[in-house]
Amino acid sequence: MQNNNRKLFENLVSRTKIYIVIIFALLIVICFEKIELLIPAIILFAIVVGYTYYTNKKRKSEISETLQDLTLTVDSAAKTSLINSPFPLIILETDGNLIWRSSKFISEFANVDINTYVNDLVIDIKDEIKKKKDVKEKDNKDISRTIVIDNKVYKVKGRYVNVKNRDKKNKKEYMIILYFIDDTENIKLQKEYKDSKSCVSIIIVDNYDETMQRLDSEEKPQVIAEIDKAIFQWADLTNGVLIKSDRDRYIYLFEQRYLEKVKEDKFSILDKIKEIDTKEKVQFTLSIAVSNEGKTDKEKYKSAEAAMDVVLGRGGDQAVLRENEIYKFFGGRTQEVEKRTKVKARVVAHALENLIRNSKKVMIMGHTNPDMDSIGSSMGIYRLAKTLDTNAYIVISEDTPTITSFRKSIDKEVEYEDVIINKEVALENVDEDTLVIIVDTHRRNYVDAPEILEKTKNIVIIDHHRRSADFIENSTLIFQEVYASSASELVTELLQYSSKKINLKTIEVESLYAGIMMDTKNFTFKTGVRTFEAAAYLRRCGVDIIRVKKWFQSDLKSFNRIADIVKKAEIVNDTIAISIYDHKTKDANLVCAKAADELLTISDITASFVMGYAGDKICISGRSIGDINVQVILEKLRWWRSYYTCWSTS
């Protein structure tokens, strides 16, 4: 009886219980006053409790019915929405069994073999589930894919849920619900938005002033008109806007939708300008820089200006496209034109002196695998720093076969015992006030010790190679002239313009002369008037040419290897020689380079490539004496330096 009363009161709401307790207390008080009212009080209390229980039970029943009706309504609405979904919808199992598909799905893909696409989706989703299971990921049951069906782009959204497998109780199976949302118009809008963005280009006529001086006065207007006409006609192909901002400079804007067309055209304007005929047989060339990087046209213009610096640093007569922080080069077949004026050399010499004087210490550094040009130019800069009473050091981390004979000669010089240091010593001594002078390279990843560049802000570059994409951007002073035969030639010019008289030691003079001689192949390739002027200056300083010649002598064993490489060479397209050096030796780089030079002595050969092993890498040495730009070819590979490149065999 007690348990029944407890259940009875548990079924009542809390507020009703309080009222019953109050009524019960009042009835007890009344019964104490008048005992005869006891029986009526008990009857009244029983009636109140019974009525309360009855109304409470009825109220709960009504709420339950209301909730049930609501649930049925929601289930019905969900089913109706599922069946009449505006998106194509299917329900299937991971074994490929199709459970249900909506009428919209049937009508949408009535003319398409949709089973193939669905099967591919199922396989892809099963692989995803398996990967998550392998790495013990928490279940992320959302599915998102993009597929193309009948020239339409669909975003496939959905979820997968676990279901019991009656046949294999321990194996998990999944049911997948997929919605196909047509995203074609959205993709088109995105593409249209991207295509409508602008690309900014800068076009410059190379060496305009010097070239125009070689024309007759009456011919100049005609040539200028032909150049303008050719450039404007080329710009019309992309419906672009071309503005001539100066005598030799044009600003060119076009929509990004035409960028692929420009790429496919490979900047044909470069060749059209060269076809302009003049009485003096003067050839005009262009430098073009295009960029689509930046949110505004101003940012794109600045990016194009930076790209133009790269083009001009590579000698002009080419185009560069800067896209996604990557440089793509086109053209570049014309030989560099030697500049007749030495104004820049004089200005740079004055600026370099000021930098050296304001520095407590100078670190001179060439490139990895140092050669005589790198060493010779370093020696020249060292003597300049010492003349200006500044401590200077030359960083050489490794000895290569190229400089073995030279190192034997310099080891006899007492002054250089503590001057030539390795990378480790250099890193210990470099600080923010140190001036770092880079010679014979401008690539951050190709200097002897790249870590040094992170420890100082004062960097000077003296180089003669065409500028690459990974040049050292934060340089204080740059003297990069691609017309020059070598870095040693540039350094020799700087020494001549020094405010103080520089007394070069014999070993320094000979190293500079050896650097020029090496890069010009005994004054045969890329040799201009200024090259001979620099050599004449060094000759007056006391060069022992026979001694320099001995530094480049090969032993009989190396000579036989080179002869064997030449013997095995194959000729491609009647003018290109390709050969392989298949022995792993320490001097593989040097042997390949000499073999490539030797191949050019064969008649009708205008370009040569020799491949060989350099430790765990493969090196390629390329040379050319014709209109084939081997640098452009080798730039397609990942690592290159001038006409030399290597990459890991793995």
b vs e for 345-357, b when ≥16 Cβ sit within 10 Å of the residue's Cβ?
A: beebbeebbebbe
**pLDDT value at residue 141:** 67
Question: Which residues fall within 8 angstroms of residue 179, CB to CB, at 6 or more apart?
Answer: 85, 87, 88, 89, 156, 157, 158
**CATH code of the region 343-551:** 3.90.1640.10
Q: What's the CATH fold of domain 556-648?
A: Diaminopimelate Epimerase; Chain A, domain 1 (3.10.310)
CB 114 within 8 A of CB 205: no
CB 254 within 8 A of CB 235: yes
Q: How far is CA 553 from the centre of its chain?
A: 42
Residue 617 backbone phi and psi in degrees, to 5: -125, 170
**pLDDT value at residue 7:** 45
Q: Give the residue extent of every domain in the chain.
A: 2-78, 89-190, 197-331, 343-551, 556-648
Rounded Cα–Cα distance for residues 149 and 105 (Å): 13
Chunked in runs of 10, what are the mean pLDDT values of the chain (650 residues)? 46 61 79 78 81 73 58 58 73 72 80 80 75 54 79 82 54 72 87 89 87 83 91 90 90 91 88 82 86 89 86 78 82 56 77 88 89 90 92 85 78 84 88 90 86 88 81 81 87 89 89 88 80 89 82 78 88 88 78 85 87 80 78 63 35
**pLDDT value at residue 13:** 45
**pLDDT value at residue 641:** 40
**pLDDT value at residue 370:** 85
**CATH code of the region 197-331:** 3.30.70.270
Is the CATH code 3.40.30 the one for domain 89-190? no
Q: What angle do CA 526, 309, 316 make, to 5 degrees?
A: 40
**pLDDT value at residue 81:** 64
**pLDDT value at residue 291:** 92
Q: Which run of H or E residues covers position 158?
A: strand 152-163
Rounded Cα–Cα distance for residues 618 and 590 (Å): 13
Count of helices and strands (H, E) across the chain: 23, 22
